[in-house]
A = this chain, B = another copy of it.
Amino acid sequence: MTEGISREELQLAARNHGMPLEALRWDVTPIGLHYLLTHYDIPEVDVETWRLELDGLLERPRSLSLDDVRARPAVELAVTMECAGNGRAHVEPHVVSQPWLLEAVGTARWRGATVAGLLDEAGVADGAVEVLFTGLDRGVEGGEEQAYARSLPLADVRSGEAILAYEVNGVSLPPQHGFPLRLVVPGWYGMTSVKWLSRISVLGEPFDGYQMRHSYRVRHEEDEPGRPITRIAPRSLMVPPGIPEFLSRSRMVAAGPCELLGRAWSGESEVAGVEVSTDGGRSWDEAELEPGSLGLWAWRGWRFTWDAAPGEHELCCRARDAAGNIQPLEPAWNVGGYVNNAVQRVSVTVAS
């Protein structure tokens, strides 16, 4: 990893929140430990005047209050959400942006109305191809002043389970998670789940705003269009075992049986298995995968008992999914430093 992180990157790291990896112990991430990335500022929203506008290619456009949204049938989904930039700080050559190591993840129970249900109610008109979601957070990026906005193909909205969430883990959305209403798209990287939602527009052609055209694309050259980032690639992370050294975060473990545990997820297909290596990735053993008790869209727990012998060790874990995707051993570079799902490596000292 590059040693130097710039002042600009530190400013981002100081305001965006990672999930400390020991929080993988909880199947549902406690509020305040879920990762959080805010492109611009967290807006202050007056719920008395806030409206959700539904417009564009709709037979019956709508302007809804929060009570209106709450009056629709509600669903609750446990969703593992991950930032498309998770792992960026491990990519070389160095990519300048939010410098995530591996903490940009979390699982929450989101409750709200289904997007598909609201669109059915409003009647999608002929010629619709995409649905655009616009937030209230405004800023400048790539020289363009903008409100954060991302679109989804209509087919993905109709076949998926996206919701407009007003509650998380049983409480009203806190400001930083998109109060009063946010989009949650299960299985997709977090940039899709627009916070502080103000408008849903049904479009007759693909949206080419900054966050679609420039950001969140896998590009190997600055000037190529690249491919859009969509679903979460498989990843597994472990709770770092033992106790940490404050500054280096290196781990001290007692000799003898040591239970390693972690979580694994994939937005592309069901997690099919997790392997653990205790020798830096030279050999691998299958971990015990727990049932997916939180449903299709959330991570699954796994366990592995390691017989820790005195000395220095590098622990790794890697997930594979039912579609045949498996985590690579080394990061792959792209212009934005996105979708680096290379295996986690945890250095451990076992005392003799």
Q: Which residues in A have some Cβ–Cβ distance to B below 8 Å? A: 1, 3-15, 17-18, 20-23, 25-26, 30-34, 36, 38-42, 44, 89, 96-97, 99-101, 103, 138-141, 145, 171, 174-177, 240, 243-249, 252
Q: List 7 A-B contacts (CB under 8 A).
A: A14-B89, A17-B32, A20-B41, A33-B175, A41-B244, A138-B243, A145-B243
Q: Which residue of B lies closest to A17 (CB)?
A: B17
Q: What are the residues of chain B within 8 A of A140 when measuring CB–CB?
A: 243-246, 252
Known: A20-B38, A175-B30. A1 touches B7 (CB 8 A): yes
- C-alpha gap A13/B249 in the complex (Å): 12
Chain B neighbourhood of A18, CB < 8 A = 14-15
Of the candidates B4, B23, B176, the one whose C-beta lies within 8 Å of that of A4 is B4
Cβ-defined contact, A100 with B14, below 8 A: yes
**Copies in the assembly, this chain:** 2
Q: Contact: B176 with A101, CB < 8 Å?
A: no
Closest to A349 in B: B140
**Closest residue of chain B to A179, judged by CB?**
B30
Specify the chain B residue showing the minimal Cβ separation from A39: B246
Contact partner, A7, options B3, B13, B175, Cβ 8 Å = B3
A352 to chain B, nearest CB (A): 15
The CA of A243 and the CA of B194, in the complex, are separated in Å by 18
Contacts of A89 in B (CB 8 A): 10, 14
Min C-beta distance of A17 to chain B, whole Å? 5
Q: A244–B30 contact, CB under 8 A?
A: no
Known contacts A175-B30, A246-B139; is-contact A13 B10 (Cβ 8 Å) = yes
Which one of A10, A39, A177, A252 has the greatest number of beta carbons of chain B within 10 Å?
A10
8 Å CB contact of A244 from B23, B40, B246, B248: B40
